[in-house]
Chains A and B, each alone.
Chain A
Amino acid sequence: MGKILLIFRHEFLHTVKRTGFIILTLALPLLALLAIGVFHLVSGIAKPPTEVTRIGYVDEVGGFDQFTTQESITLVRFDTPEAATQSLIKKDIKEYLVIPSDFISTGIINRYTIQKEVTPPTATTAVIKNFLSSNLLSGKVSADTIARVEAPLNLITITLTSTGAVASEQGGLTNLIIPGIFSLLLALSLSFSSAYVLQSLGEEKENRLMEILLSSVSTRQLTIGKVLGIGTAGLAQVVVWTISIPFLLNLASSSIGGFISTIQLPTYFLVLGVAYFILGYLLFAVLSAGVAAISTTVREGQGLASILTLFAAAPFWFFSLLLAFPNSPVWVVFSIFPFSAPVLVMLRLGVAGVPGWQLAVSIAVLVLSIVGGLLLVAKLLRTYILMYGKRPSLGEIFRNLMIG
């Protein structure tokens, strides 16, 4: 145990002193601060103008002469497109519309502007729609009905429990934010921490230090000390990020939206977050140790290990599908598949929740994978950690694992 602690201490200190580790730990909170700052700056510059914007229009149908003031936009009528064009050139108006005589049958409106745009501004489109619908319905229905036609839906969803009571967690975007951020941090941390294990073992192999170490400690002590030492450094990194989240959210909610301050973090989420971090890290770290054992150089090992980390990040590739079909059986399978489970389960907790039995099976499979991985990797380490210069073939590795 004493030697494991010595290796643990050495690896922890060695990892937290790495320039790359320090930069990464500080980079995420700093990037978030930068993003909030940029948002402040952009939203400050792009604040809706207080002065009135004038938009011209030519009415070839007739009857579009009411509701010409909408929010900060005033619609100015012209008799001909030529007159509107002259006014646009003189910058009396910002743009103008032509409501053609067949508008009622086609719905087509021609918009003329001298500004280059990707799409028309949302606010302008909304104003034009309201102007058209209000004039079309004016005198035929009540003002309230006109208002409803303009904004027909304000959907409020209330989630009930199986007993019919109102559920304590109502889901929605606010509930997705923390699991989303946490999953991203988890995927990053799993990738980086397991990369540190690979780099550390790979360097000791490449620098020919391994044999000196193994004359003092066993492969078991070396692997446990290293995995735990580097894992603790990874956990410290996640803690720094997690501590910075409330501070950043407070900062963000003051500008981005008050809803962020309403986010609540259930205790079970924190418990599962820590559990999945530890299990996910152990699985990836153990497999990284195996990759280091069979690789001749750190660079070669990193190439092989990147295949593993692709699995950790894979749930993000299918995030839009997860949002669209949160209850698909595919997610159940990948929540149990040990490589994708840590990140996917965290994401699903935010999207639609995960039934207890799936959590139990997912954790059990992860634990079994770690134990099985440890046994296989111990064999790989014993066989290949002192083999230099030539990477064994897959067939050779398989044969050696079978022989034991």
Chain B
Amino acid sequence: MPAVEVNHIIKSYADKVVVNDLAFSVNQGEIFGLIGPNGAGKTTTIRMLMDIIKPDSGDVTILGEKLTEASKNKLGYMPEERGLYRKLSVIDSIIYLASLKGMDRHEAEEKADELLNQTGMLASKRRKIEELSKGMGQIIQFIITIIHDPELVILDEPFGSLDPVNIELLKSMFLDLRNQGKAIILSTHQMNQVEELCDRILMIDNGHSVLYGNLTEIKSRYRSHSVILDFEGELAQIQGVTLKRAHKGYVELVLDRNTTPKQVLEQLVSSGVVVNRFEVATPSLNEIFLEVAGKNYG
């Protein structure tokens, strides 16, 4: 049973179609990247998943059923626009918001202690939210998102105000959650984070789905039929190479349609060149996005 199943949802505001016929699914035990530029329709899509707003048409199934008040307790959501009660203490904020997810106060406080300790925030337990830095507040919000052990976790731009240490902390916690079989939807425009964490992605632009599927397969689909070579010695003429592009520290060799990377490597080895690095060039997600989005705008 997929954690999320979205069937052709459409949402318009006034005359503008914000989400246009999106269909995708998210499996349990995977990190799913929902990516796209600002204003692409990511947050609107997530709000429809959370039943905060209703689609004009199409439907959404969460954990095999339409979202109800009871099944909201199985979801953890950290929105992009986020805040907390500034005058409340850290622990009171966590307990109140955890209680709205069905936890009792005692259980919530125990779990809060555990998570605060794990994130190095236990000393701030009694501090008021307004006394915390933006990054610390964001960690507290992440704790609130996962404290009730949700089956599906939706994170909208989760790395916004974090320093590199806390980004690494959160990433390791995301991977732990995935290993526990939770489904995680990671919405961001930071493509490097998606490449590092996500198993599958949906790329949207102007409300449309422009790329959807396994990240490795997508990257392989968009590879440019070239290889990256870092070498020592004199590079002779290589059969099947149509173009050499020199970069700092390496050369990119563009192959013709009939030549494989293996054939090029064999030629290099036989020519006596010392090969330090040889790999099939795959474009970054950012480059793929620019190519796809460029086509749409072109």
Contacts and interface: CB of A to CB of B under 8 A. Distances in A.
B69 A214 contact: no
Contacts of A208: 79, 81-83
Contacts of B96: 6, 10
Contact of A209 (B75, B77, B84, B101): B84
Interface size class of A (residues with CB under 8 A): 20 to 34
A3 B83 contact: no
Given A221-B69, A382-B53, A386-B47, A211 B79 contact: yes
Contact of A3 (B69, B78, B84, B85): B69
A212 B101 contact: no
B175 interface: no
Interface string B104-130: 000000000000000000000000000
A209 B77 CA distance: 12
B77 A215 contact: yes
Summarize B's interface: helix, strand, loop or mixed. loop
Nearest to A225: B100
Interface string A369-396: 0000000000000100010100000000
For A10, A206, A221, the residue with the greatest tally of chain B CB atoms inside 10 Å of its CB is A10
Interface of A: 3, 6-7, 10, 203, 206-209, 211-218, 221, 382, 386, 388
Interface string B32-53: 0000000000000001001011
B97 interface: yes
Contacts of A3: 69, 100
Contacts of B26: none
Given A215-B50, A215-B77, A215-B79, A207 B69 contact: no
A206 B96 CA distance: 19
B75 A215 contact: yes
Contacts of A388: 81
B85 A217 contact: no
B100 A217 contact: yes
A286 to B, nearest CB: 21
A382 to B, nearest CB: 7
B85 A216 contact: no
Given A3-B100, A215-B72, A216-B100, A209 B85 contact: yes
Contacts of B221: none
A209 B47 contact: no
